[in-house]
Amino acid sequence: MTNYNWNYPTTVWVGNNRIKDLEKACIEIKTTKPLLVTDRDLINLEFLKDLINDLEKRFQLYIFSNFSGNPTGENVDEGVEVFNKNNCDSVIAIGGGSALDVGKAIAFMSAQSRPIWDFEDIGDYWKRADEKNIAPIIAIPTTAGTGSETGRASAIINSKTGIKKIIFHPKFLPSIVILDPVLTKDLSPRLTGATGMDALAHNLEAFCAPGFHPMADGIAIEGMRLIKKSLLKAVKNGSDMEARADLLAAASMGSTAFQKGLGAIHSLSHPLNAQFNLHHGLSNAIFMPYVLTFNKENIEERIISICDYLSLNKSFDTFLNWILDLRNELNIPHKLSDIIEIKKMNLDELSKMALEDPSTSSNPKKLTLNDMKVMYEHSISGELF
């Protein structure tokens, strides 16, 4: 039997208004000079102003928010400069996946002398790191999608190459996570749907990835069930705290499960996120049925095996139709050509980037450069395999 390494996530505090326990979390990690990292869209929200005001009464707080979605290496560098200039000793990352990814990367890179790209998720590149002074992290998601709060990596764009890179180290994992559904209640139906589909993609691809990891499989199946149960409820009624809690849990579960691997949904998405600033959850949702049908011969039995648990008739087509119907109810486009000017897409270049993406290696079906191009072409035409 092949050898595998399994990892389980961190301390997670869950419940309505658990954000009130942030001061307690800071005390627990023994911070005195935290750097609060959030994006420029979130920093001016009332709840965050109140949070900052409370923290400043107890701690010497610094703030970094000069970035938005699909962050770059330069964003991380600027945050590291703020962190080190002020001798910060921890990071509080609050926001969507971008804010969490930037915050984690700042905490990690504050102790490094090599460029961030030297720690790409390739082989044992992570062992290049100086581990001595990597700062502890508190992660607080305000969207239920990426699950970055329980992940050991950050997705950062190299603006020189236009490629989204996965930067990995075990100490990217936050020390404490706060999952507070109340922080997600004002998320728009559009973003609730897109981020929920991101969480679904993580759980689905993790379950379908080859390899022996029953812990990840079990987490992924339950993550999919929670999304099936609650995504549409949360979209239709943003104040449904039970549904919001289900989605936060499912997002964290997806990130936990995908240590087993991802696949072509993510391989195809990452180049478009970098090149066209396309929302990651939206691109994952668009590619999902094309990748499912492309991989059908390799995953059909696994998909059928979970249909009972998801209260679906036991067939691959039933599962696929659930995905298609869900996307339709969320008003997610069926084709890339509905949201991108196709003439601006260089399919040869995008296909090469997709093939080289770290997610490609764990796709259930071995992929070639032509496979990537064909999947892009199908996602443009709308024709499933």
Residues 223-276: tens digit of each pLDDT: 999 999 999 999 999 999 999 999 999 999 999 999 999 999 999 999 999 999
- CATH number belonging to domain 11-183: 3.40.50.1970
- What are 252's two structure tokens? 């964290």
User: Sheet of 176-179: strands edge to edge?
Assistant: 11-14, 176-179, 137-141, 90-95, 34-37, 62-64
For residue 194, how far is the Cα from the chain centroid?
A: 12
| φ, ψ for residue 164, nearest 5 deg | -80, 125
Does the pLDDT at position 20 exceed 80? Answer: yes
| Separation CA 286–CA 54 (nearest Å) | 41
Q: What is the pLDDT of residue 1?
A: 66
Domain range summary for the chain, segments of one domain joined by +: 11-183, 189-381
CB-neighbour burial class of residue 246 (10 A; exposed 0-12, middle 13-18, buried 19+): buried
The CATH number, out of the four listed (3.40.50.1220, 3.10.580.10, 1.10.10.10, 1.20.1090.10), of the domain defined by the range 189-381: 1.20.1090.10
Residues 177-207: tens digit of each pLDDT: 999 999 999 999 999 999 999 999 999 999 9
Q: Which residues pair with 94 in a beta bridge?
A: 140
Residues 78-102: tens digit of each pLDDT: 999 999 999 999 999 999 999 999 9
Does the pLDDT at position 2 exceed 90? Answer: no
Nearest to 230 by CA among 243, 213, 217: 243
Does the pLDDT at position 159 exceed 80? Answer: yes
Q: Is 244 left (phi over 0), alpha (psi -120 to 50) or beta?
A: alpha
